[in-house]
Structure 1
Amino acid sequence: MYTKLDYRSGCKAKLQFSISSDGEWTVSKHIIDHNHAFCPIGQRHLLKSHRGVDREYLEFIMLMKESGTKVSDVHRMLQKQAGGVSALGFTKRDAYNVLETERSKTVDGTDSNTLIGILKKRAEVESDFFFDFELVDGVLSCFFWRYGQMKSDYERFGDLVVHDTTYRTNKYDMICAAIKSVFPGARHRLCTWHIDENSKKHIMHLARR
């Protein structure tokens, strides 16, 4: 079970308005006492309330990514063009997040949506967790995830395990069902080349006896 970190301090400071029937705004309540230190001016652009990716930026980032440019390179260029990340209004992580949100809108299939939802929840509560995925014609084609221990292990040992797209593809017996209904009269044969190759790997020691 993953528990989301809670940064709330119970601060009672607030600014409350009342709106009259003619649309006039009036301050009805103002509590100025805070129970925490203020965010330094130089870090205010990092606050969630101060960040956001405009639609124009999003479309530009998507276009550049489709052209083969890395999101990190696009963000670096936009940051330099705007005069710094504080002037740009969003971080590199924000760019990745908004792209993931857009892509998740086109993913079809219950399993795919569930998977992406789980990965997103872990990314929210684990600072070292990272994931990404790719779509082909709106269908999930591949995905990648990494948590803190994986990163640490890779830095120490350099080993990597990769599963191809056929890994556990018959979990729900979908392939067998399709063959049975679409090709009911098909004859199934074993390839002699595969038999020969597998025999060399698994029973060659018996042939030597």
Structure 2
Amino acid sequence: MLRSHQKMSEADIEQMNEMRKRDIPISRIDDFLPSLVEGYENVPYITRDMHNVNAKQRRERGLDVDLCLRYLCECKANDPVFSYKKVIDQDRVLQRLFWCDGTSQIDYQIFGDVIVFDAMYKKNIYLSPLVVFFSVNHHNQTVVLTATLVADEKDETYVWLLQ
């Protein structure tokens, strides 16, 4: 079980994908696999490897973006002042995603005298900066005003963001 020897074969990945298509969670797949190969010692990878392969496939297929945009559409349906904007490049890759709910817009009107923004650098699985705009309310509590996920930190990205 040395890390350098842990590897999912193409057959293992295909088997996992077939089980995932039937809505079997990875934890259940991990419980089932040892019975196929006569013991845990014969499974050459760990649960984390299955999660990593699954996440990589989702990123490559753009499933996370589709789910996120679908979720934002639902938020817009439930909150009429909710807003979001996206920029997708010619390769259909999401470059920028901005969102703000109704409560945050009210907070901006009340507490928007001083706004701070912080780019949390490459702390997510996409290695993209997450830019959060926030302020402080009359109780000295942080109030999140909006958030944006960006693919780069070019000048035009921040101009778009601030507009």
Q: Give TM-score scaled by structure 2 length.
A: 0.42
Q: Which has the higher contact order (CA 8 A, sep 6+)?
A: 2
Question: Which protein is bigger by CA-based radius of gyration?
Answer: 1
Q: Give TM-score scaled by structure 1 length.
A: 0.33
Q: Which has the higher strand share?
A: 2
